[in-house]
Amino acid sequence: MKRLISRHDKDKKQKRNQLVVGFALAMVMLLSVVGYAFQSGLNSGGDSNGQDSGDSITYNGIEFSQINGFWVAGGFSFSYNPEEIESFFLKVSNDLIGATSYQGAPLYIYSENADAETEIRANLARVSSNVDGACVEGSECLNGLPIKTCDGEDKLIVIKESVETSVRQENNCVFIEGPKEDMLALADGFLFKVLGVI
């Protein structure tokens, strides 16, 4: 016979699980930063693999520097610089809300692509009050994640692998959709638009 669980206990367990997942993700991000810093220290004289090439570009008045394989501008880091993915900008809607809409507010992400999610999570965590996983209404929900809709007050980013390529806004949801090989470029295109680079 299945034990009955009160709503309070269920909510308490769900919050605990979210904290555990959040802490684990924070530790992964922290260890990644420490690993990159350590690797950078080992390669301080330059790296024959191009990891720290010292390249830089200026795009729309914003300087991007390549550091440890990432393009960095204003404390944000990207896998691509804007020049590398200009062709994707046509897929990014002009109606996206700006970074100020995420500032100090909770952000939820539903993702089918870990790389794109990590790119967005790492950058928007700098402006949002917190970034958590979520399920989209109508999808299979695992790990007791909260179910979010586009009609609520919360901001939700939905990252889905698809044949069609687009980045669009619907109410409080942003949908980033495309083939697996394009997801990271689409995520960076979304970030460039939200952060005012394009």
pLDDT in tens, 91-122: 776 777 777 777 878 888 888 889 999 998 88
pLDDT, tens digit, 9 for 90 and up, residues 79-95: 998 888 888 777 776 77
Please indicate, yes or no, whether the overall pTM of this predicted structure exceeds 0.75.
Answer: no
Q: Render 36-59 in DSSP notation, one character per residue.
A: HHHHHHHTTT--TTSTT---EEEE
130: left (phi over 0), alpha (psi -120 to 50) or beta: beta
Q: CA of 29: how far to CAs of 33, 100, 137, in Å?
A: 6, 24, 28
pLDDT, tens digit, 9 for 90 and up, residues 51-66: 455 688 898 888 999 9
Highest mean pLDDT among 95-99, 103-107, 126-130, 154-158 belongs to 154-158
Find the range with the poorest average confidence among 36-45, 101-110, 174-183. Answer: 36-45
| Residue 118, token pair as written in the block | 């990590």
Pairwise CA distance, residues 118 & 111, whole Å: 10
Identify any residues that bridge with 107 across adjacent strands, giving them in sequence order.
Answer: 131, 155
